Chain A
Amino acid sequence: MFDVIIIGGGPAGLAAAKKCYDEGLEKILIVERDTQLGGILNQCIHTGFGLGVFKEELSGPEFAHKYIEMLRDTRVEVMLDTMVLEINRDKEVTVINGNGYQKLQAKAIILAMGCRERSRGAIATPGSRGAGVYTAGAAQRYINIDGYMVGKRVVILGSGDIGLIMARRMTLEGAEVLACVEINPYSGGLPRNIVQCLNDFNIPLYLSHTITKIEGENRVERVTIAKVDEHFQPIEGTEIVFDCDTVLLSIGLIPENELSKVAGIELDKRTKGPIVYENMETSVEGIFACGNVVHVHDLADNVAMEAEKAAVGVCEYLKGRKSEGSVDVTTYEMIGYTVPQHIHLPLDKNKYDFFFRVRKIFGPSVIYVIDSEENVLARFNRQYIIPGTMEKITVPKVLLEKGKGNLKVLIEEK
């Protein structure tokens, strides 16, 4: 019987394990399907990790390595090359590996499975279906892990961070990146990545554009892009044609929620990950979640901090913490979602973090937290908020305590 089984050994799983250990849990197990720990970080050989947690700029593998080192001489057990196939409300974890197919029993579970990339089907890009179309993450793996180039002349669809990072990586390896094409009027990536990965290499970013056709029998030979109207429909007469042999898709990430679904964990339609409370507990008592499996993070550092919250949640749960109901955290259309979506009562933390993303670019604005009677409980000034960056506000308990009923997060441009 394990105190906690952590599913996934990326930054979320590693940081959660470390914190569980520090908090004194005895039987901790990480189950990871890959042959090594580190998750997606293993293929992120660029720097830009660690400023939040370690106060130094690290590459992805270095960031992961720090955690792996910290866990080395602990009681934390690790099962590699092992896939979790199923979990249930009774905290049974079904795993499979070269030794067999078995059920493990835990008192609590932390979901840390990360997310997967959306593929071409999700946006139904028309055209031929030969080689040459890759998700950016798959291309990153071929290049950074296997050491092979996937193409020579590249168009990137979507301006998520992975696509941007890959624009730079492919260029440095001698490919020609002809364009980065984004259907929204703004980029989905971090501003620093737009500058360092596109602008510095003179790669044009076509906002409000999409690929309308991919041609080429055995391999991509040509793509057509077009400007889109406000309903994202291509506008005739705005087409631009690129001769290229590769299309990289960086069109978003979706939390890995197969296990959560089967376990009957309630999912949020907006994040596509589990709905969570302030302690990262899901709708099923004793099952917690953190990292990209909950919502897509820009920074591994934020993932690690969220994982620590989940770990603390598990420890309190195992000590028998009981809640007396909860309040909902709601929002309105210009804010895509919030995490957490609920807060346990009574309020027993000194402060409460709320994470969210906006749906358009905001100049100088005020973020409000209001209660069900529209009393303003807290307000935060911001100069600039963009969809590409996850936003965080922290509200002290003393302010939240004044509220009645459910909470709502709003934003208003000044």
Chain B
Amino acid sequence: MYDVIIIGAGIVGCSTAYYLSQYDLKVAVLEACNDVSMGTTRANSAIIHAGYDPEPGTLMARHNVKGALMIRELCRRLDVPYKQCGALVVGFDDKDMETIQTLYERGLVNGVEFLKILNREETHDLEPQLSADIKGALLAPTSAIVSPWELALALMEVAVENGVELKLNNKVEAISKSDEVFTVRTSEGEYHGRYVVNAAGIYSDAIHEMIGQKEFTITKTKGEYYLLDKSEGRRVSHTIFQCPSKVGKGVLVSPTVHGNLIVGPNAEDSDNTDTTYEGLQFVRKTAVRSVPFISFGDNIRNFAGIRAKNDRGDFIVEESHSVPGFYNIAGIMSPGLSSAPSLALEAVDWLKGKMELHKKAEYKETRKKVRFNQLSAEEKNELIKKDPRYGRIICRCETVTEGEIVEAIHGVIPAVSIDAVKRRCNAGMGRCQGGFCGGKVAEILVRERGISPLDVLQNQRGTNILVRELKVK
């Protein structure tokens, strides 16, 4: 019997698990996929928004501004890549400049610090690569970039170390309640709990309706991206937004914490993460309006994420009206990544109203990671002396060692696929996209996990890379 069952291990579920793990509670996280961060959290713009965008007074405004500050601190504590690179919202005409004025004023009301409206020269001084057609920009110095999946992983790793039970490969299929106890049936078994937190992303409406009445509806809209080689990573040094319109925050161009350049997204109603010819063309054409000389020939990957747009137009962070004890953190669209820790604290506060919460006598709040290529020569040698596997480079593009890969495979949340290794230590993230190291990572997975090569997965279940042994070897 669990005190709390969290459904979904995206950034929202992971943040909730992290904060709940500090209390004397029995907590389970049920996740359909074979790793954390397999939903929207792994495919988005990765911006920690400053908070000038949401309308004042909304939940989005409040949680964005608070969440962004929390994330800055969390990334430091959890050793997660984060960089406060600042953002520019650029305008091309008078109408845009009006929008920029509105955003500036909203930002002030929302409590965003250091906002400034720049004229054309000031904008170009900051970002010489921007289009000559730009009239001015809003500068938001507190806007930041982050590695979303590493943040989710780090939060969940610490939660697990504090005793949270992470149940991967558990797709929730039915929920019932009797005598104040929820029974959550998954593809693997049944779990019983007193409270449920629904953090199931684009499926959070379906999860809620497994037990409650329809209280909100989620529409899925896809956003597609280009991710460019590090050779393009310095094209701009701030996140460059165009003025937001009805369809969203528009196409941005931004450095990433890993040194690449990200360009996107578009917005198309769709429930799959396939990229499309039209979508990518749109992204490309729109992006060059603000940053004309992007070299799309240096693209290394395209991907798409799905927004959980809900029909209320604001975050849904509340106890279900029809099912007491069932808490929805649902329809968490952008700026959901930026807001997640603050949303999680809402859930904790709600729980405090339901039961007495006691902090554990001891719990972990921090995490440290070996990043070989960032060590000094002495540190590298020391590590290799202890374990020669740190002297074997497996991923040449990102300089990732066998030692780090083995660590990922035997970590707190073990990596079970080639992409899971990538999410933990960057192997395969570089310009050759695993063309060179994929096979080597596969070999290490086989050895360390004691599995057959035929069972090596690219990513989720069903993505086996090899189909059979050769007849004659």
Contact = CB atoms under 8 A, between A and B. Distances in A.
Contact of B463 (A137, A138, A219): A219
A120 interface: yes
B293 interface: no
A256 to B, nearest CB: 8
Nearest to A94: B377
A121 B229 CA distance: 10
B433 A119 contact: yes
Interface stretch (B66-74, B90-98, B268-276): B268-276
Contacts of B397: 258
A138 B438 contact: yes
Contact of A101 (B280, B381, B438): B381
Best-surrounded residue of B274, B279, B302, B433 (most CB of chain A within 10 A): B274
B453 A148 contact: yes
Contact of A215 (B274, B277, B433, B466): B274
A117 interface: yes
B466 A124 contact: no
Contact of B465 (A81, A119, A131): A131
Nearest to B377: A101
A3 B406 CA distance: 37
A131 B273 CA distance: 14
A342 B272 CA distance: 52
Q: Which size class do A's interface residues fall under?
A: 35 or more
A383 interface: no
B471 interface: yes
> For chain B, what secondary structure do more than half of its interface residues adopt (helix, strand, loop), or is it mixed?
mixed
Interface stretch (A60-68, A139-147, A366-374): A139-147
A149 B470 CA distance: 6
B312 interface: no
Contact of A120 (B274, B279, B433): B433
A84 to B, nearest CB: 10
A381 interface: no
B459 interface: yes
Contacts of B227: 121
Contacts of A1: none
Interface string A83-100: 101000000000011111
A344 interface: no
Interface in A183-239: 212-213, 215, 217-219, 234
A116 B302 contact: no
Interface string B61-81: 000000000000000000000
B274 A127 contact: yes
A282 interface: no
Contact of B280 (A116, A124, A128, A150): A124
Interface string A106-119: 00000000001101
B450 interface: no
A177 B384 CA distance: 45
Contacts of B381: 100-101
A219 B300 contact: no
A33 interface: yes
A148 B463 contact: no
A396 interface: no
B459 A130 contact: yes
A21 to B, nearest CB: 28
A98 B302 CA distance: 35
Contact of A97 (B274, B391, B453): B391
Given A119-B432, A124-B296, A99 B461 contact: no
B277 A99 contact: no
A100 B385 contact: yes
Interface string B263-292: 000000000111111011000000000000
Nearest to B466: A148
B460 interface: yes
A292 interface: no
B380 A101 contact: yes
B302 A117 contact: no
Contacts of B185: none
Given A97-B392, A101-B381, A149-B467, A85 B399 contact: yes
A398 to B, nearest CB: 42
B324 interface: no
B280 A130 contact: no
A33 B280 CA distance: 37
Given A121-B301, A128-B273, A173 B471 contact: yes
Given A131-B457, A131-B465, 9 more contacts: A81-B392, A101-B377, A101-B381, A116-B435, A124-B226, A124-B296, A124-B299, A149-B468, A218-B462
Interface of A: 33, 81, 83, 85, 96-101, 116-117, 119-122, 124, 126-131, 134-135, 137-138, 141-143, 146-152, 173-174, 212-213, 215, 217-219, 234, 245, 258
30 contacts: A83-B393, A96-B380, A101-B381, A101-B391, A116-B432, A117-B435, A119-B435, A121-B433, A124-B296, A124-B302, A128-B272, A129-B273, A129-B274, A130-B459, A138-B436, A142-B439, A142-B465, A142-B466, A147-B469, A148-B453, A148-B466, A149-B470, A150-B465, A150-B466, A150-B467, A151-B467, A213-B276, A218-B460, A218-B462, A219-B464
